[in-house]
Structure 1
Amino acid sequence: MSAEDFNNDGSTSLHGKIDQIDQTLVDIDPDEERKAVRKLDYTILPIMTMFYLLSFLDRANIGNARVAGLQTELKLTDTQYQIAVTTTFVPYILAELPSNLLLRRIGPNILMPTILIIWGLITSLQGTVTNYHGLVVARAFLGLVEGPMFPGIVLYLSGFYTRKELSLRIALFFSAASLSGAFSGLLAAAIINMDGIGGKPGWAWIFILEGIFTSVIGIIAIFIVPGTPRKSKFLTDRQKDIIVRRLVLDRPTTSPLDTFSFYQVLSSLKSPHVLIVFVALFMNGTTLYGLAFFLPSIVNQLGFSATRTQLISVGPFALAFVVTIASAYLSDRYQRRAFTAVVVSVIAVIGFSLFLGTNKHHLAYGSLFLSVSGVYATPPILSAWMANNSEPHYRRATSVALGFVATNCGGILSTWSFPKKEGPRYRRATIMDLTFECCIIVLSLLNVVVLSWATERKQNHRNELLAPYVDEKTPDGGDRAWAELGDQHPDFRYAT
């Protein structure tokens, strides 16, 4: 969402534009509003969900390819395999913040489909590599192109939905991560039967076919992804007005004065609540990517055959899909980000504790249902929490990007935490994951304390904060106060 959505008549006052919109919606029916939001759900969320499913699938399918023989055929040592996976994350992380800051200028309707097409081609080319060096180069380019997608989707959705709706919508597209974990196992089990066709091994066909499908979806997306609510081809003019009205009332920081500045970037970097969630997302990223990349190997080392491993790896991810949606719904329904994050983290703690403490392979496998569910349900809640409490646009763009920088830094750590020689229990990695989940619980509670303190402080210093912006025409500080203070404005309410 950009200022132009509210100022199509060239006016300079955002709030004047709101009044104009509101005059046409005085008698709006709540059912009409729900229908407008549902139409967004039906036309925006499926596309974003597909984007992220393909992103996670094309990044994590190397775990399935490893079980299917990639490491053996390319004669990779454990260290070389870990370097190849790690290489994905470095350019991935470097691309996240710049791309989020450029998203509004380039347009999400252009940027996201384009990178989808390019990374699909790169994924397919992974199926042609014949040695370690080729794999590393392919993974580096894949990370560079995929990096903008996840933070870009979160920022994009925050321009279509109100803050109290965001967690569920993030969960709906992020659930594609757990869904891709389930789907990739089934898909890999089928694709490896193509072993030998065209002189290619089964693991190569996993990359080739999944990459082609990704590029095709990217081409289709060019024609159906709207840049802003105003540009949706599926909403009526009245529904567009309804969506805009809801957004501007929810985010008064949206203003023609909201332009890029390094001050907004630095404000995000200095916000305690952003830094706390940053650390929590780093820890969650470590556990999440560890499970995403190594769960097939863990299950395989528990004594199951390669084909059965691909199939039974589906179960934990399928349950994670359900838990992710349910927890995000409750987070939005009751507006309790911290409480929900704590609950799902406790589920993960129980799962890792069982895995660490049992000597029975079937119980160890069963514990993965809890750990995967708890770990995968956490990012939508924390990501929505980060987006909810950072305003205006460029501060929010920075905070969202930082959250995913943290997550993917955790991904780098995870790739070095599961050497084959420590399997199938991976005691050190499991202890680390268990510790991190406990820390996420503590950090979530700490963030509530920090946000409550910040809210009280803003109220106590209200006149002092607004003084530089108050004059005869704008006794409340007006657009300028909202644009510059953002979430530090006395009237901004932090989500807890």
Structure 2
Amino acid sequence: MSTTPEKSVFHQEGRSENASSTVFEVLEKDVEGLRARKKVDSSVLPLLFLGLLVFQLDRMNLASALTGGFAKDIHANQNTISLGNQLMFLGIVVLEIPSNLILQRTGPRKWIAAQVFIFGFVATMQIFVKNRTGFLISRSFLGLCEAGYIPGAIYTLSTWYTKRELAQRVAILFFGMFGGNTISSLLASGILKLDRKQGLKGWQWLFLIEGVFTMTVAIVLFFLLPGSPDAPRPLLSDGIVRFTPKSREALQRRIEKDDTERRQGAQGMRIPLSLVWKTVKHYRRWPHFISTFAVFSTWSPLTTYTPSIIMALGFNRIQANALASVGGFLALGVVFIFGYMSDRTNKRGYTVISAQVCYLLILILAKAVHPHVGKWSRWGLWTCVNAFAIGYHPVHNSLVQLNCKEPGERSISIVMWVMNAISGLMVGTQYFRNDDLPLEVRPHMQIRDANLLNSHSKCLRTMINAI
């Protein structure tokens, strides 16, 4: 029986591995192509990584601000903090697709750099928050301004790399997110010591320093971020890494050899609404989206309350922020391992499921052991939860986009995937409520149940593909 395009989507594991290996071997022998790839590795990838790092810093520093008395100073309780984060994630979801349509029209060297500057400015303005209303408004605007950065950065990478290379590069890109998650608490443990200096409270220094750093990164992007393989010159300079005509040809040749049906994306491309609708309604993608929603809902409260949870275990403010960073450091290794496994084995679906099962087992263990151990063991459990929370994330994203045939479809698929991730984060803000203080029994159960939903979704995906 012949296989239609509808039936072949997400059947990457079923494709001819001999053909894939042959193409891979040819590309690995292309000396000029490998040189061009090294230029991309030393320019596009680290710059997008840096942008994602400050993106996460500006979202995550609220967690450390809470340990510095932020909620008390603005007269807000835990429910208000959760609502603020919910509004931030809602803003991201609302503008996710429009933001990426703009990216397609203007190109990454303009839009990504401008976006980083704008959300850095909004993050800095949080130093003026005085009350509950101001907090809710500032978080809403931060979400609206951050909308589209993650799918835009991932899509940009997909125009520079072959399929076999992409999962590992996306994993490296997400080191920026997890790195921001990691160093946020570590930086805060030092910045909060500036409390009362120059008339500013510790949390104000936190928003100010990290917001200004974000705007500085945006300026760097304006000067150094290449546009696309066919127009690699940065917006405001020739860049540090120069792409010669021979390099451009080699990059384009590599993409064409990798997949003759996959066209490169560059600035100026328009995505028709018909393609948007066709991509959105494709039923085989929705089990992936539901899975992403479920897992990310479990990560959401961890990004906001991990330092506060560690304080509740009996550690002081500085210790709690420093210890909260350990899980993020371990997450970097987890992400890299699963990304490496995916690229080396080319069994991307199985790698995704393996990573999610590992997280589920950690949650079950934490729920069972948590009430019966001391504070250091509890810290170890929370650290493991943070380390495995989204180790599957980059690999799953790569699996979704590698089965898209054209740039427009790929861009919208990434956006839909990220929108479901952000929607999960939005729902997850309600897992930890004011009546959960000071211990975390009920949230453990909710996190576990959400991950069980995710596992059922993965089983559903397997059954659909088996039909």
Return the TM-score normalized by structure 2. 0.87
Task: In structure 1, give the amino acid aligned to 2:46.
Answer: P
The whole-number CA distance in structure 2 between the counterparts of 1:281 and 1:159 is 23
- Following superposition of structure 1 onto structure 2, how do residues 43-442 of structure 1 map, counting pairs within 5 Å? 43-233=43-233, 234-254=242-262, 260-358=271-369, 359=371, 360=373, 361-423=375-437, 425-442=439-456
Aligned to 1:39: 39
Is the 2:168–2:336 Cα contact (8 Å) retained in structure 1? Answer: yes
Match of 2:33, SS? helix
Contact 1:124 1:210 (C-alpha < 8 Å) held by counterparts: yes
Measured after TM superposition, the shift of residue 39 of structure 1 is: 1.9
CA distance in 2, matches of 1:97, 1:103: 10
Computing the radius of gyration from Cα coordinates, the structure with the larger value is: 1
CA distance, structure 2, for counterparts of residue 293 and residue 78 of structure 1: 10
Query: What is the alpha-carbon distance in structure 2 between the residues aligned to residue 168 and residue 289 of structure 1?
Result: 24
In structure 2, distance between residues paired with 1:256 and 1:427 = 49
Name the CA shift for 1:133/1:101 in 2 (closer, same or farther; >3 Å): same
Give the stretch that moved more between structures: 406-415 or 249-258: 249-258
2:43–2:226 Cα contact (<8 Å) kept: no
Mapped to 1, the partners of 2:88 and 2:292 lie a distance apart of: 18
Correspondences of 1:446-465 after superposition (within 5 Å): 446-451=460-465, 453=467
One-letter identity of the residue aligned with 2:458: S
Label 1:212 to 1:176 Cα distance change in 2 as closer, same or farther (>3 A).
same
Label 1:153 to 1:28 Cα distance change in 2 as closer, same or farther (>3 A): closer
Q: Which structure 1 residue ranges, 4+ long, deviate > 4 Å from structure 2?
A: 26-29, 254-259
TM-score of the two chains, using structure 1 as the length reference: 0.82
Amino acid at match of 1:366: G
- Contact 1:277/1:443, CA 8 A, preserved across alignment: yes
Letter in 1 for 2:158: S
Q: Deviations over 1:281-301 (max 9, x none)?
A: 111221222211121122121
**2-structure distance, mates of 1:434, 1:136:** 29
Taking the aligned partners of 2:360 and 2:162, their CA distance within structure 1 comes to 32
Q: Is the 8 A contact 1:95 1:144 kept in 2?
A: yes
SS of residue in 2 equivalent to 1:130: coil
Work out the CA distance in 1 between the residues paired with 2:28 and 2:368: 58
Offset at residue 235 of structure 1 (A): 2.3
Change (3 A) 1:404 1:191: same
The Cα shift of 1:255 comes to 5.3
Q: State the AA in 2 paired with 1:231.
A: A
Residue-by-residue CA offset, 1:183-223 (whole Å, 9 max, x unaligned) = 01111011111111221110111001100010011012111
3-state secondary structure, aligned to 1:230: coil
Give distance in 1, aligned partners of 2:140 and 2:28: 51
- Are the counterparts in 1 of residues 79 and 434 from structure 2 also a CA contact under 8 Å? no
3-state DSSP class of the match of 2:223? coil
Change (3 A) 1:427 1:238: same
Q: Is the 8 A contact 1:348 1:372 kept in 2?
A: no
CA contact (8 A) 1:100 1:401 kept: yes
Larger mean CA deviation between 253-262 and 295-304 belongs to: 253-262
Q: What's the CA shift for 1:364? A: 2.2
Structure 2 distance, partners of 1:439, 1:381, is 20
Q: Give 1:277's aligned amino acid.
A: H
Query: Displacement of 1:227 after TM fit?
Result: 1.5
Amino acid at match of 1:243: L
Distance 2:389 2:214 in 1: 26
Letter in 2 for 1:332: D
Q: Aligned partners of 2:183, 2:407: CA distance in 1, in Å?
A: 35
**Contact 2:362/2:384, CA 8 A, preserved across alignment:** yes
Aligned equivalents of 2:27, 2:64: Cα separation in 1: 55
Please say if residues 117 and 214 of structure 1, whose CA atoms lie closer than 8 Å, have aligned partners that are also in contact.
yes
1:443 aligns with 2:457: yes
**Contact 1:349–1:434 under 8 Å retained in 2:** yes
1-structure distance, mates of 2:465, 2:257: 22
Number of aligned residue pairs: 428
How much does 1:231 deviate? Answer: 2.3
Q: C-alpha offsets along residues 149-199 of structure 1, whole Å, 9 cap, x if unaligned?
A: 111111111111122222111110112222112201111011111111221
Q: Check the 8 A contact 1:268/1:390 in 2, yes or no.
A: no
SS in 1 for 2:113: helix
**Structure 2: how far apart are the matches of 1:290 and 1:343?**
23
What CA distance in whole angstroms lies between the structure 2 residues aligned with 1:263 and 1:250? 27
8 Å contact 2:167–2:339 — kept in the other structure?
yes
SS in 2 for 1:377: coil
SS at match of 1:127: helix
| Cα separation, partners in 2 of 1:425 and 1:77, compared to 1, 3 Å | closer
Separation of aligned partners in 2, 1:27 and 1:87: 46
TM superposition shift of 1:242:
1.5
Q: What do the CA deviations read for 1:216-247 (whole angstroms, capped 9, x no partner)?
A: 11012111111211222422222211111121
Contact 1:284 1:379 (8 Å CA) reproduced: no
The aligned amino acid for 1:61 is N
CA RMSD of aligned residues (A): 2.1
